[in-house]
Every structure is written in structure tokens, then in C-alpha cells.
């Protein structure tokens, strides 16, 4: 028994027991028949180790490297942990059915995983293969195999070699030195190696050296490790090849015959040329050691990967190329192409890759001289040396999008991005995605490389903006932290991105007014004239542009709007001045977003009231922005039957005389004042309360110089009338005194000035209608106020009584005291008394010991005919107060009194 079988038996006991525990595979196991070989794929192993044993005659024989090469097996594992076991159909342990069907059974043992449990699987595959050429040569990774159609007698045997059936016919031995017929009983006795010197070995000696010689029903098989003392290297067409040349001697009694067998396989070094992008493999077309005549025909050339042929479509898709010239068969493979794999390496923070691929060439040729064909199959694993992969950063940023878009790579698939370091912080890939940086890996469809993309918005805080002269430069410093798995070898890539954006300057609007018009100038921004203009409430149409004298010169446009135009709003009316405003809005026509909003307010002089010497008065009421819902046509003068003689939605124009429409008169020493008011009449006033129509009140007044009977001025004030009377003179005299206390029995003497009071000391005032004996007349206080100096119209001014009522905002409110008859007071209705606490004007905090003057407007009412308003009694009804003023004062006397100074200590 040979040493091989000794080992086999030893293993047998162990193996058979384990097979009992056979389970459904937890990993993928598949097998394929690939012509004269088969392939078993196992994996991914996931950290397990794989032991392969071949099952032969119910025993499992573990395949050591030397057994594998001797008997027709090889194995490789890729970096993903997938194992591929290549098996020659003519392996020593196959069950061979007439050289047409070959069954090989393997036991696979997975061990060394973390679970500590071995897993045992059995895989058995039967491959049909009958298209044997006269000679078939296989160059596997660890052996050379040659088989030839046998003409040797069928009864010779090698003791150890399994022979299933013995039906071989005699045929011409391949390259037989002597073509003599052989009959039964021939035995292989001797092997002669030509190294090139002759070296003879017995069969058993050769097998001890790792060779295998044996026969099948129709073929003689010789297998040799790639490198043995008997192989030698020969240059063939510039390609180094390992050559084995033998003669096998068959003996039968005194007869002998021999078959010459040669094998030749290419050596990696010297066969392959590398450029940075391509692997080029040269195989001699005419492999001299295998071809005796120069007349031969190459019938077929096939290329494949991992033992499996590829069709032309697949080759093109993977960008492989095979060309045949006079001398070589040339295979070109792009580095990184599908079919191989790249492995990453890190040295000094530099990134390298190596690329591994196992192309196959399968040739079929025939020789003219003997018409015998040879099938020649080379499995040719190639791994490139470390190729530097300089960092490639592709900046795909389009500044208008305001996002940095960067692509890095290519990296092999064993590289993973761990984190990105920005000057201010380090973010993991997860953090980046949460932050919206959209980190993505992109696998290539035709290569084993991938790229990584990242997007960082300009608005993120890791981006630094810098303004300079109308341009904003955005910059981004980043360092990618990368890792090669499974070694956990870190490396990094630092890069800097910059993008510039021209700042967007919005259009500018400016303007001014003259006596009649608003003038508007619009300067285009960086985006040019691509906005819509709204003037007031209207969009600038070509019609409006024409109306407003629109002019444009490529960088600016201008237009003029008369202050009376409907696009102008009235903000306020003061005397004969109308305060108006023009709004101009520029919008982006697509988004309707406001680019610019511009408002300009101007005062225009306009005679709102005209007074003619013949007593005719005219008044123009304008609708103010604050009472936008007012309908001017409803306005009337005091007499509600006096409506406007002309009105539209913005104006009401009134014509009236001093004797009509409720106009009242006041006499001053040299002047006559006619007054009227424009407002909504009562019926509308009532509905106004419901409809929320705005309150509107415009006071109209004309001053006539009595001396000349010419109109000298006009005056309008909206909403509130102010007293205009001068110091009281004439028949009715009114006096104001300051009492010493609230008994109102003793008074400061009018000559006893200055009167000095402490702050917050009460001041007791009394106002008396003098020299009147008419008990039906009453005196009412309309307005009382304090000033700092003697001029009653001076500022500052503090109101004590307004329209007969205490000033509601006064912190020390006026207290009215009733007046009773006594020795001094004959007619209480001719008196009014009130109390106020001494105060100082806040405007003069530096100097609190300043003086005060107190002034009052008084009204003398006819008690028999109280027409309402103030004459109804001091602060009798706030609502009537306003109305009464309008209606009922024509024959009342307005008087004015003052007292002071009162000094504060």
C-alpha cells in the first residue's frame, strides 16, 4: 500500500463519523461543469477555514497542497472569502463512466469559526464530457495535466488507479515513437524525463516525486506539479514557459512500446505587461514544445474567467479583448474590470490597490501532419503589484445651486468612509446625512471600484463665506477619514473647495417731489430689468407708463406721478397742506416676492378752503388713508342737507356761504370767523356705528378782516377745533381768581404777584362772569390749560379741562367744586370753581421753580335756551359735546381768561 493510502485510511474513520452530522448548508455551495474541469464555489466563508477532502471508495482523503497538485485539484479564496475549488474531470478519484461521465465527491469541512463547531458538507457532481480531443492539456494554478488518447493495451494497470470499465480500443498512441500494435498485457514500467537530459524513473518512484501517471478507459493521463526538478523553462515567442517532456515505456514480456508526452505552461513573469490601466497577457500561438510540425491550424480561441468561458457580448460588456496575431494570443483586461477584484492597501497614509483576476484561455488546434487535435486550457491568475491611486477629488459644484458637490475616489469596495473632519467639528457619515450632506457611495457598473459623493449647502456653518467687492467666495475645508476593511487600516484625504457667487444686488428706488409731482427713479440691480413694478395699487402697464412719462435707458427708469393721481394716498390734511404718500413695489415676476418696497411722502400745498369777499366759501374734503372706507359723497356740512356739489371716490367739494349750511360766526376785535364742519350726517353716523364706517370730521373756517371786509385767510383742521379767541374784552367780562383755600372766601390779590405754591399744593380757581345780573345766563368752562409763559398759545401746554371735561390723562385730575349762594355769590350759575394740584412741566426738570399760567376758554350760555353741548352743563354728555359744538353756538359769547404767573417753589 502506498503512503497515500496510508494517510487516506487514517482520515477515513474521522471523516465518516462527521458525515453523519451533515446539515443543510448555512453557506452557499454550488458546482459547475466547465468542459474538462469542474468548479465548486463555496462561500462566503465568513472567517471560517475550509478543509477539502475527496471521497474515494467511501473514504475521505484530505487534499493537502501536494496531493491536490498530484491528483488534479486546486483551490483559491478571494478577498471576500469565497472559495473556488477547481477539479480536473480526470482527477485520480473521480468515478469515471467510460470517459463520458465523471463523478467527483468532496467533503467540505468548515472550522475555526467563533461558534467553535465544525460544519461538514458533502458535494457531489457528475460532469458529462465526451468531446475529448486527441490531446488535452490543462495548466492549472498548481499543476500541469496532459491526457492523450491511448493506444496502449487495455489490460495494463497501475495498481492504485481506479479503472471503471476496460473497453479501450487500440489506437495510435499520441506521438508514439514506434507505432506498433500492442496487445493485452502491457504494463507501464518506466518513465523517461527529458530535462532535457534523459532521466529514468519507475512509476512508483515518479509518484513519490509528485507525478501522477495513469490511464482511463481510453486515455493516458500524466500530471505534474508546476515546478519539479524535471521541468525546465523555455522561451517560446518571447514568453517563458515551463516544459515537461516524457516518454512512457510499456512492457509486455520481452516487448516494449512507448508514448511520448509533453506539457508546457506559461510562467506569469514575462507573460504579462502592465500599464496603469490595462493588463496585457501574451500567450504564444505556436507552443513549440507541443507542436512537432510547423503546419498547424488554430481552430478555436476562447477566453474566460475563473475557468468559465465568456461569450463575445459578455467580453465586450466587461471591456476584455482577445486578439490573435502571427505570434501571440493577446488578452487585454482593464484594471478594475468586473471579473476580478481590487484590494486596498495603505502605506504612509497613501492609498494603493492591487487587482486580482484569473483569466482563462482555451485553444483548440490541429496539426496538418497527423490531423490530431489538441485542446489547451490555461487558468492564469494575475495579481498586479500595488498601484498608487492618487487621491482624486472632482469638484462638481455649480455655484448657482449654492451647494458644494464633491466626488472622491475611485476606491475599492473594501474602503469605507468613517467620518469627515471640518475645521470646526468632526461628523460621522450618519451625522453628515442627518445634517443634509447626502453622503453616497456609487458603485460602477463595469468595475469593482466605487466613488463617494458629498453635498454641503453653502448655508451650512462649516462653509465659510467671504465677501469681497460684489462677490462672495465660499470655502470648505474637509478631511475624509477612510478605513480599509477588514484590516481597519485608516487613511485620509484632505481637500479644499472654493466657489464664488456674484452678490445679487436688488434694484434701488429713489425719488423726490416738487409742487405737483412725485418723481421716481429706479436703478436696476445685478439681475437687470426683470421685475414688475407696482405704483400704488396698480401694476405698471404700458398705458400707465405712458401716463406717468416712463423713461428707460438700460440701467434706470423713471416716471412722474402727479400728487392728485389715484395711486397717491392722502395721509393727513393740515391747514392747506396735504400730506401724501406714493408706494412703489418691485416684485420678482416668477416668485412674486418683493424685491424692493419704496414709500415716499410729500406735502403739497393746496387751497382746501377758499373764502371769497362776497361770502362764498368752498371746501375740498379729501379721503385720508386712515379712513379708506369713507364714501366722500355722503359727507355734508353741519346742515345735513348740504352735500358736496361734486364728489368722487376720493374727494368731496362743497360750496356754501356764511349764511347757509349751519355756518357759525365769531367776532374778534378786527376779525370775523366763519366756521363749519364737514362730517358724516347723523343718519350715517348711526349706521357707521354698525358698519364701522370711519369717523370723519373736517373743520372749515374763514377769517374775514372786518376793517376791509376782505377775506384774509382760510384755515382747516381735521377733527378737532381749537379756540382762537383773544383776551376777553367788551360787554361781558370774565375773571379768574386763585382762592387761598377751598372755602373760596379769600383770594390772592391780583396785584399780589408772584403767587408762590409748593408742588402738589392744591390750587383753587374760580371763574366769574362779571357785571352780569341776568340769572338766566350761565358760565361754562370749555377748555382750561396751563402754559409756562403768559402767551396762552405757547408750548408746552398742559390741558386741565377739555371741552368741559377733565383731561382724562391728567394724573392729578381737576376737581370741580359746586358753587352756592352767599354774601359774595349772588348768581351761582355765573361762577365755576375747580381745584388742581400744583405741578411742574416735565420738560423743565432742570428748573422746577418755574412759573405757570392757567388759561380758560369760557362760554356764556342762555339758560332759557340751552342748545346743547357745553351749555347742557359741565361735562354733561361726551357724545353731545361734539355734536353740540357743531350746532348751537352761533349767539353764544366765547370768552377767554387767564391768570398767573403762579410760581412753584
Ligand X SMILES: *[C@@H]1O[C@H](CO)[C@@H](O)[C@H](O)[C@H]1NC(C)=O
Where on the chain is the footprint of ligand X (CB under 6 A)? Answer: 27-28, 44, 57-58, 162, 319, 334, 336-337, 418-419, 426, 446-447, 481-483, 490, 521, 553-556, 612, 614, 616, 670, 705, 707, 846-847, 850
Q: Is 627 helix (H, G, I), strand (E, B) or coil?
A: helix
In whole angstroms, the minimum distance from the beta carbon of 540 to ligand X comes to 17
Locate the DSSP E strands across 64-203: 73-77, 83-88, 95-97, 101-111, 119-128, 135-139, 143-149, 187-194, 198-202
Residue found by looking up cell 378786527 in the block: 670
In whole angstroms, the minimum distance from the beta carbon of 520 to ligand X comes to 11
Closer CB to ligand X, residue 319 or residue 366? 319
Closer CB to ligand X, residue 103 or residue 419? 419
Closer CB to ligand X, residue 81 or residue 399? 81
Yes or no: say if 784 and 835 are a contact pair by the CB < 8 Å rule. Answer: no
In whole angstroms, the minimum distance from the beta carbon of 286 to ligand X comes to 31
Closer CB to ligand X, residue 402 or residue 606? 606
In whole angstroms, the minimum distance from the beta carbon of 544 to ligand X comes to 20
Closer CB to ligand X, residue 78 or residue 693? 78
Nearest to 688 by CA among 635, 648, 625, 621: 635
Closer CB to ligand X, residue 364 or residue 408? 408
In whole angstroms, the minimum distance from the beta carbon of 289 to ligand X comes to 34
Yes or no: say if 407 and 393 are a contact pair by the CB < 8 Å rule. Answer: yes
In whole angstroms, the minimum distance from the beta carbon of 25 to ligand X comes to 8
Nearest to 218 by CA among 162, 269, 148: 148
Q: What share of the chain is helix, strand, coil (3-state, %, to 5)?
A: 10, 50, 40
* Torsion angle of C-alpha atoms 701, 705, 708, 713, degrees rounded to 10: -50
The DSSP annotation for 175-196 comes to T-SS-----TT-EEEEEEEESS
In whole angstroms, the minimum distance from the beta carbon of 59 to ligand X comes to 8
Q: CA–CA separation, 82 vs 62, rounded Å?
A: 19
In whole angstroms, the minimum distance from the beta carbon of 841 to ligand X comes to 11
Give every CB contact of residue 350 below 8 A, 6+ residues apart in sequence: 388, 491
Closer CB to ligand X, residue 296 or residue 548? 548
In whole angstroms, the minimum distance from the beta carbon of 44 to ligand X comes to 6
In whole angstroms, the minimum distance from the beta carbon of 339 to ligand X comes to 11
Nearest to 564 by CA among 598, 606, 506: 606
- Comparing every residue's Cβ against ligand X, the nearest one is 481
Closer CB to ligand X, residue 353 or residue 778? 353
Closer CB to ligand X, residue 183 or residue 552? 552
Yes or no: say if 42 and 85 are a contact pair by the CB < 8 Å rule. Answer: yes
Q: CA–CA separation, 175 vs 374, rounded Å?
A: 12
Closer CB to ligand X, residue 448 or residue 647? 448
The rounded radius of gyration (Å) of the Cα atoms in the chain is: 59
Residue found by looking up cell 474541469 in the block: 37
Of all helices (H) and strands (E), which one includes residue 885?
helix 878-887
In whole angstroms, the minimum distance from the beta carbon of 759 to ligand X comes to 15
Closer CB to ligand X, residue 542 or residue 553? 553
In whole angstroms, the minimum distance from the beta carbon of 27 to ligand X comes to 5
Closer CB to ligand X, residue 404 or residue 480? 480
Q: Is 542 helix (H, G, I), strand (E, B) or coil?
A: helix
Give every CB contact of residue 508 below 8 A, 6+ residues apart in sequence: 522, 523, 525, 596
In whole angstroms, the minimum distance from the beta carbon of 119 to ligand X comes to 12
Q: Is 374 helix (H, G, I), strand (E, B) or coil?
A: strand
CA-to-CA separations, 524 to 56, 521, 667, in angstroms, rounded: 93, 10, 60
Closer CB to ligand X, residue 576 or residue 616? 616
Yes or no: say if 719 and 656 are a contact pair by the CB < 8 Å rule. Answer: no
Longest Cα separation, the chain: 184
Yes or no: say if 333 and 277 are a contact pair by the CB < 8 Å rule. Answer: no
Amino acid at each position: 500500500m502506498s503512503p497515500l493510502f496510508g494517510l487516506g485510511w487514517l482520515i477515513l474513520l474521522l471523516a465518516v463519523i462527521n458525515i453523519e452530522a451533515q446539515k443543510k448548508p448555512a453557506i452557499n455551495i454550488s458546482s459547475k461543469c466547465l468542459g474538462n474541469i469542474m468548479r465548486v464555489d463555496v462561500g462566503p466563508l465568513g472567517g471560517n477555514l475550509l478543509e477539502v477532502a475527496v471521497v474515494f471508495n467511501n473514504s475521505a482523503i484530505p487534499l493537502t497542497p501536494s496531493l491536490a497538485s498530484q491528483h488534479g485539484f486546486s483551490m483559491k479564496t478571494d478577498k471576500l472569502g469565497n472559495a473556488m475549488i477547481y477539479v480536473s474531470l480526470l482527477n485520480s478519484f473521480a468515478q469515471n463512466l467510460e470517459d463520458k461521465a465523471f463523478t467527483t465527491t468532496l467533503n467540505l469541512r468548515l472550522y475555526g469559526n467563533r461558534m467553535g463547531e465544525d460544519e461538514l458538507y458533502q458535494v457531489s457532481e457528475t460532469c458529462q464530457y465526451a468531446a475529448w480531443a486527441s490531446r488535452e492539456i490543462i495548466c492549472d494554478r498548481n499543476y500541469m495535466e496532459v491526457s492523450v488518447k491511448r493506444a496502449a493495451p487495455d489490460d495494463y494497470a497501475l495498481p492504485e488507479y481506479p479503472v471503471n470499465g476496460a473497453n479501450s480500443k487500440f489506437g495510435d498512441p499520441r506521438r508514439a515513437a514506434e507505432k506498433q500494435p500492442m496487445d493485452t498485457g502491457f504494463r507501464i514500467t518506466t518513465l523517461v524525463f527529458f530535462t532535457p537530459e534523459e532521466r529514468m524513473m519507475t512509476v512508483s518512484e515518479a509518484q513519490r516525486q509528485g507525478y501522477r501517471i495513469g490511464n482511463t478507459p481510453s486515455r493516458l493521463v500524466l500530471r505534474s506539479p508546476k515546478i519539479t526538478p524535471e521541468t525546465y523553462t523555455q522561451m517560446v515567442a518571447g514568453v517563458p514557459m515551463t516544459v515537461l517532456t516524457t516518454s512512457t515505456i510499456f512492457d509486455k514480456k520481452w516487448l516494449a512500446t512507448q508514448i511520448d508526452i509533453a506539457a508546457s505552461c506559461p510562467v506569469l513573469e514575462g507573460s504579462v505587461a502592465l500599464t496603469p490601466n490595462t493588463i496585457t497577457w501574451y500567450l504564444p500561438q505556436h507552443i513549440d514544445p507541443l507542436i512537432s510540425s510547423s503546419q498547424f491550424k488554430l481552430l478555436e480561441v476562447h477566453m474566460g474567467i475563473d475557468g468559465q468561458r465568456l461569450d463575445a457580448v459578455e467580453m465586450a460588456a466587461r471591456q476584455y479583448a482577445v486578439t490573435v496575431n502571427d505570434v501571440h494570443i493577446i488578452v487585454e483586461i482593464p484594471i478594475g474590470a468586473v471579473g476580478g477584484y481590487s484590494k486596498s492597501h495603505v502605506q504612509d497614509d497613501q492609498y494603493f490597490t492591487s487587482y486580482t483576476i484569473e483569466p482563462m484561455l482555451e485553444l483548440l488546434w490541429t496539426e496538418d501532419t497527423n490531423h490530431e487535435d489538441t485542446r489547451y486550457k490555461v487558468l492564469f491568475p494575475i495579481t498586479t503589484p500595488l498601484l498608487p491611486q492618487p487621491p482624486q477629488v472632482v469638484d462638481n459644484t455649480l455655484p448657482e445651486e449654492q451647494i458644494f458637490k464633491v466626488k472622491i475616489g475611485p476606491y475599492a469596495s473594501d474602503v469605507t468612509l468613517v467620518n469627515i473632519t471640518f475645521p470646526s467639528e468632526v461628523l460621522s457619515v450618519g451625522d453628515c446625512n442627518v445634517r443634509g450632506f447626502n453622503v453616497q457611495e456609487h458603485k460602477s457598473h463595469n468595475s469593482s471600484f466605487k466613488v463617494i459623493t458629498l453635498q454641503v449647502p453653502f448655508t451650512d456653518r462649516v462653509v465659510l463665506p467671504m465677501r469681497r467687492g460684489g462677490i462672495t467666495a465660499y470655502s470648505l475645508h474637509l478631511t475624509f477619514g477612510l478605513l480599509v476593511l477588514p484590516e481597519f487600516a485608516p487613511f485620509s484625504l484632505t481637500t479644499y473647495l472654493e466657489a464664488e457667487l456674484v452678490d445679487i444686488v436688488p434694484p434701488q428706488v429713489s425719488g423726490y417731489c416738487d409742487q405737483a409731482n412725485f418723481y421716481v427713479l429706479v436703478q436696476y440691480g445685478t439681475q437687470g430689468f426683470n421685475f414688475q413694478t407696482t405704483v400704488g395699487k396698480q401694476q405698471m402697464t404700458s398705458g400707465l407708463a405712458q401716463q406717468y412719462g416712463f423713461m428707460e435707458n438700460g440701467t434706470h427708469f423713471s416716471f412722474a406721478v402727479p400728487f392728485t393721481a389715484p395711486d397717491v394716498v392722502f395721509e393727513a390734511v393740515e391747514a392747506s397742506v396735504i400730506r401724501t404718500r406714493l408706494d412703489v413695489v418691485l416684485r420678482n415676476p416668477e416668485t412674486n416676492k418683493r424685491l424692493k418696497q419704496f414709500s415716499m411722502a410729500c406735502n403739497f400745498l393746496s387751497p382746501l378752503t377758499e373764502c371769497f369777499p362776497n361770502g362764498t366759501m368752498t371746501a375740498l374734503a379729501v379721503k385720508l388713508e386712515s379712513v379708506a372706507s369713507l364714501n366722500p359723497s355722503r359727507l355734508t356740512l353741519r346742515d345735513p342737507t348740504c352735500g358736496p356739489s361734486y364728489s368722487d371716490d376720493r374727494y368731496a367739494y362743497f360750496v356754501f356761504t356764511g349764511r347757509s349750511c349751519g355756518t357759525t360766526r365769531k367776532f374778534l376785535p378786527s376779525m370775523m370767523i366763519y366756521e363749519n364742519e364737514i362730517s358724516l350726517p347723523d343718519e350715517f353716523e348711526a349706521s357707521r356705528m354698525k358698519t364701522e364706517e370711519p369717523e370723519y370730521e373736517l373743520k372749515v373756517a374763514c377769517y374775514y378782516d372786518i376793517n376791509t371786509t376782505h377775506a384774509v385767510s382760510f384755515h382747516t383742521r381735521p377733527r378737532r377745533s381749537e379756540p382762537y379767541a383773544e383776551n376777553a374784552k367788551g360787554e361781558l367780562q370774565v375773571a379768574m381768581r386763585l382762592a387761598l383755600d377751598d372755602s373760596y372766601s379769600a383770594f390772592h390779590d391780583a396785584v399780589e404777584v408772584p403767587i408762590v405754591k409748593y408742588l402738589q399744593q392744591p390750587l383753587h380757581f374760580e371763574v366769574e362772569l362779571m357785571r352780569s345780573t341776568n340769572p338766566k345766563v350761565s358760565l361754562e368752562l370749555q377748555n382750561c390749560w396751563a402754559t409756562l409763559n403768559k402767551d396762552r398759545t405757547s408750548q408746552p401746554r398742559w390741558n386741565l379741562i377739555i371741552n368741559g371735561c377733565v383731561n382724562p390723562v391728567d394724573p392729578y385730575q381737576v376737581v370741580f367744586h359746586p358753587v352756592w349762594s352767599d354774601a359774595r355769590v349772588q348768581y351761582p350759575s355765573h361762577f365755576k370753581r375747580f381745584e388742581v394740584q400744583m405741578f411742574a412741566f416735565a420738560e423743565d426738570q432742570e428748573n422746577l421753580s418755574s412759573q405757570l399760567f392757567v388759561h380758560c376758554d369760557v362760554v356764556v350760555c342762555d339758560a332759557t335756551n340751552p342748545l346743547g353741548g357745553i351749555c347742557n352743563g359741565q361735562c354733561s354728555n361726551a357724545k353731545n359735546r361734539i355734536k353740540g359744538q357743531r350746532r348751537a353756538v352761533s349767539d353764544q359769547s366765547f370768552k377767554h381768561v387767564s391768570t398767573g404767573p403762579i410760581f412753584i417753589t
